[in-house]
DNA sequence: CTCACCAATATGTATATACATAATGAAAAG
DNA sequence: CTTTTCATTATGTATATACATATTGGTGAG
């Protein structure tokens, strides 16, 4: 969190904060430029600079004559193209099925929890579930959700909705860190994914923050060469 | 390549082009704002907008009283944090060694060449080499370089300098696409990496373009769990 | 000769203004 | 009742101007 040194940066940070915190949900109309002009006691060029930047970052969407609106979160896919798993499976023309394996509520305490970014004694949701493409397991998901950051998650059963999909529509924006590596499937993982032990698997670990607070850590294990992560970027953005 | 609809976008594209093409090498001084103002017959605010954007994209560096300069390319690491391999190895406190395995010049013709983005009959440099950490192979590199995009590469021996390091200092900026997957090492790969066959390996494939032209396709194979790719991003950028 | 100070300079930010453009909603014409 | 037209409105781009800020290079006091 850098201290905004200039006015347009402060406006940008203020509005960004409201969006990230969920105070202004997706679809919410941002005040018009002339309203912000009045609110901050500055010229239109200054608020325009802030809003233009927010639009380029994908946080807001601007429409002439209508105003500016909080953008629907496009998941982290926009930057690191990891799609929502349902979308991904359906893009392959296969029927998608989701299945919850376990869900427990506990306090952060293990060294792994600390590595994941959760401070000691933070209440956590510990979830294991699977995503299927047709009859075959497509991906194993092991997820921790901080109930400090997302208290509403405590009352969700996640029996029918995958936690990823639910979070995407409840945490509009965040900082994200991806770690991707290859591992040989251990006995338990192999059984869950229905592949021989020692099969090469792609493990994608994603940690996300919202407003400086860690929100969730998810480990996605994809069997064999069935999956690739693609990231594309251009200087212009 | 989108057609610049506004003046500041055209200025941005013009300068970006000069940098990407290498016409303005790293360290080269961009014309002062007042010079560009004159050249384009516009106000300083307009050129300032273009230069500010170029600076945020990391293409140029701005210094008060001195002017603006073409930035030293920081590799793609800035966005997808894949470091230069030498740096990566040395960060582990291990001695780095590079070794060229094969280098041939040929024309693009195989379906794989086409998949990599190289049109038929484009002259290519086909390179295989290895990066060592201490005595152990750290990573296997298989690279194609388009001699159409980088003709200077034809006279390089790459006996002592890894093609990646050489390219980074000769192609300042580009669009890049990363594909990351897990594979089991085949017999040949296993031998090159000095690991048992079927070891899970992380394969990072990177394709880069410069001014719309494909420049290089590199496949980096890391053995076992020795390596992870980390990508981090924040909305602000 | 050294150091403190100052003027010149290029970028950084902000203002007031102007006209262009796209989309909305309502009034007018068929 | 439908379609066309038009004024309204919010954003998009650009200008001329102003002052702030950081840095370079030189100048003068000690």
Size of interface A-B (CB pairs under 8 A): 114
DSSP code at position B8: H
- Report, as an integer, the average pLDDT of A220-233: 79
- Report, as an integer, the average pLDDT of A226-232: 74
Cβ atoms within 10 Å of A182's Cβ, excluding its own: 28
Q: How far is the alpha carbon of A157 from chain B, nearest alpha carbon, in Å?
A: 30
Please, which residues bridge with residue B96 across strands?
B133
Residue B112 lies in a domain: yes
Same-domain check for residues B87 and B129: yes
Can you give the pLDDT at residue A234?
Answer: 57
Same-domain check for residues B49 and B89: no
Instruction: Select the residue from A14, A231, A234, A237 to test the B interface by mutation, using most B Cβ atoms within 10 A.
Output: A231
Using the CB atom, is residue A5 less than 7 Å from strand D? Answer: no
Same-domain check for residues B88 and B143: yes
Residue B228 lies in a domain: no
Which chain A residues are Cβ-neighbours of B202 within 8 angstroms? 180-182, 202
- CATH number of the domain residue A217 falls in: 3.40.1410.10
Same-domain check for residues A21 and A91: no
- pLDDT tens readout for residues A100-135: 999 999 999 999 999 999 999 999 999 999 999 999
Residue A60 lies in a domain: yes
Same-domain check for residues B169 and B188: yes
Can you give the pLDDT at residue A70?
Answer: 93
* CA A106 to each of CA B29, B51, B179, B205: distance values in angstroms, whole numbers, following the listed order: 58, 51, 36, 40
- CATH number of the domain residue A65 falls in: 1.10.10.10
CA–CA dist A235, B54 (Å, integer): 9
- pLDDT tens readout for residues A134-189: 999 999 999 999 999 999 999 999 999 999 888 877 775 667 788 888 999 999 99
Cα-based angle B62, B64, B75 (whole degrees, multiple of 5): 20
Closest Cβ opposite residue B79 in set A199, A203, A233: A233
3-state secondary structure of B219: strand
Nearest chain B alpha carbon to A186:
B200
CA of B65 to C1' of D30 (A): 29
Which chain A residues are Cβ-neighbours of B183 within 8 angstroms? 182, 200, 225
Same-domain check for residues B31 and B125: no
Residue B52's nearest CA partner among A52, A229, A3 is A52
Residue B125's nearest CA partner among B85, B86, B152 is B152
3-state secondary structure of B208: strand
Closest Cβ opposite residue A202 in set B76, B182, B224: B182
Same-domain check for residues B83 and B184: yes
Which chain A residues are Cβ-neighbours of B176 within 8 angstroms? 232-233
| C-alpha torsion angle, residues B142, B143, B144, B149 (rounded to 10) | 180
Question: Which domain, by its residues, includes A14?
Answer: 7-70
Which chain B residues are Cβ-neighbours of A58 within 8 angstroms? 235
Q: Is B19 left (phi over 0), alpha (psi -120 to 50) or beta?
A: alpha
Q: Do A235 and B198 touch (CB under 8 A)?
A: no
Using the CB atom, is residue A2 less than 7 Å from strand C? Answer: no
- pLDDT tens readout for residues B150-186: 999 999 999 999 998 888 777 756 677 888 889 999 9
* Among chain B residues 52-81, those with CB within 7 Å of any atom of strand D: 63-66
Q: Which of B34, B55, B70 is the last residue of a domain?
A: B70
Token pair of A141 as six digits: 């998901």
**What is the DSSP pairing of strand B213-223 with strand B136-146?**
antiparallel
Helix (H) or strand (E) holding B207: strand B200-210
Number of residues assigned to chain A? 237
Using the CB atom, is residue B54 less than 7 Å from strand C? Answer: no
Residue B232 lies in a domain: no
- pLDDT tens readout for residues A47-89: 999 999 999 888 899 999 999 999 986 544 444 444 578 878 8
Same-domain check for residues B45 and B154: no
Q: Do A181 and B225 touch (CB under 8 A)?
A: yes
What stretches in chain B show pLDDT beneath 70?
1-3, 73-83, 172-174, 211, 232-237
Same-domain check for residues B11 and B37: yes
* Among chain B residues 7-26, those with CB within 7 Å of any atom of strand D: 7-9
Contact A98, A162 (CB under 8 A): yes
Domain count, chain A: 2
DSSP collapsed to 3 states, chain A:
CCCCCCHHHHHHHHHHHHHHCCCCCCCCEECCHHHHHHHHCCCHHHHHHHHHHHHHCCCEEEECCCEEEECCCCCHHHCCECCCHHHHHHHCCCCEEEEEEEEEEEECCCHHHHHCCCCCCCEEEEEEEEEEECCEEEEEEEEEEECCCCHHHHHCCCCCCCHHHHHHCCCCCCEEEEEEEEEECCHHHHHHHCCCCCCEEEEEEEEEEECCEEEEEEEEEEECCCCEEEEEECCCC
CA–CA dist B87, B82 (Å, integer): 10
Residue A103's nearest CA partner among A128, A132, A138 is A128
Using the CB atom, is residue A46 less than 7 Å from strand C? Answer: yes
Residue A235 lies in a domain: no
CA of B29 to C1' of D25 (A): 19
Specify the residue for token string 């194609």: B144
Residue A19 lies in a domain: yes
Q: Which of A70, A96, A112 is the last residue of a domain?
A: A70
CB-count burial class (<10 Å; 0-12, 13-18, 19+) for A66: exposed
Same-domain check for residues A56 and A99: no
Which chain A residues are Cβ-neighbours of B232 within 8 angstroms? 175-178
Residue A21 lies in a domain: yes
Quote the distance between the C-alpha of residue A111 and its chain's center.
23
Using the CB atom, is residue B232 less than 7 Å from strand C? Answer: no
Which chain A residues are Cβ-neighbours of B1 within 8 angstroms? none
3-state secondary structure of B143: strand
Please, which residues bridge with residue B105 across strands?
B125
Q: Which of B18, B51, B70 is the last residue of a domain?
A: B70
Greatest alpha-carbon pair distance for chain B in Å reads 66
- Report, as an integer, the average pLDDT of A215-231: 85
DSSP code at position B3: P
Nucleotides of D under 7 A from a protein CB: 8-18, 21-24
Using the CB atom, is residue A161 less than 7 Å from strand D? Answer: no
Same-domain check for residues A218 and A189: yes
Same-domain check for residues B82 and B149: yes
Can you give the pLDDT at residue A146?
Answer: 95
Name every residue whose Cβ is closer than 8 Å to that of residue A233 and which is 6 or more positions away in sequence: A79, B76, B79, B80, B175, B176
* Among chain B residues 67-126, those with CB within 7 Å of any atom of strand C: 67-68
Residue A54 lies in a domain: yes
Number of residues assigned to chain B? 237
CA–CA dist B151, B46 (Å, integer): 36
Contact A167, A145 (CB under 8 A): yes
Contact A103, A145 (CB under 8 A): no
CA–CA dist B78, B72 (Å, integer): 12
Q: Do A175 and B234 touch (CB under 8 A)?
A: yes
């Amino acid at each position: 969190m850098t201290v905004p040194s200039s006015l347009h940066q402060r406006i940008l940070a203020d509005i960004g904060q409201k969006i990230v915190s969920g105070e202004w949900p997706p679809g919410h109309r941002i005040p018009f430029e002339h309203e912000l002009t009045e609110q901050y006691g500055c010229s239109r060029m200054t608020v325009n600079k802030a809003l233009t930047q927010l639009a380029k970052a994908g946080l807001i969407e601007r429409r002439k004559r209508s105003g500016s609106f909080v953008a629907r979160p496009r998941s982290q896919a926009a930057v690191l193209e990891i799609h929502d798993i349902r979308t991904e499976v359906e893009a392959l023309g296969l029927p998608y099925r989701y299945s919850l394996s376990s869900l427990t509520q506990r306090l952060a305490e293990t060294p792994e929890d600390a590595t994941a970014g959760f401070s000691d004694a933070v209440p956590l949701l510990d979830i294991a579930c699977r995503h299927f493409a047709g009859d075959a397991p497509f991906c194993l998901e092991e997820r921790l959700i901080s109930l400090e950051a997302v208290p509403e998650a405590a009352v969700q059963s996640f029996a029918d909705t995958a936690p990823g999909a639910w979070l995407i529509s409840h945490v509009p924006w965040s900082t994200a860190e991806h770690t991707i590596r290859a591992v040989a499937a251990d006995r338990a993982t192999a059984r869950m994914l229905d592949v021989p032990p020692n099969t090469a698997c792609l493990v994608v670990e994603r940690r996300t923050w919202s407003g400086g607070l860690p929100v969730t850590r998810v480990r996605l294990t994809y069997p064999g060469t069935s999956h690739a992560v693609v990231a594309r970027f251009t200087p212009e953005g």
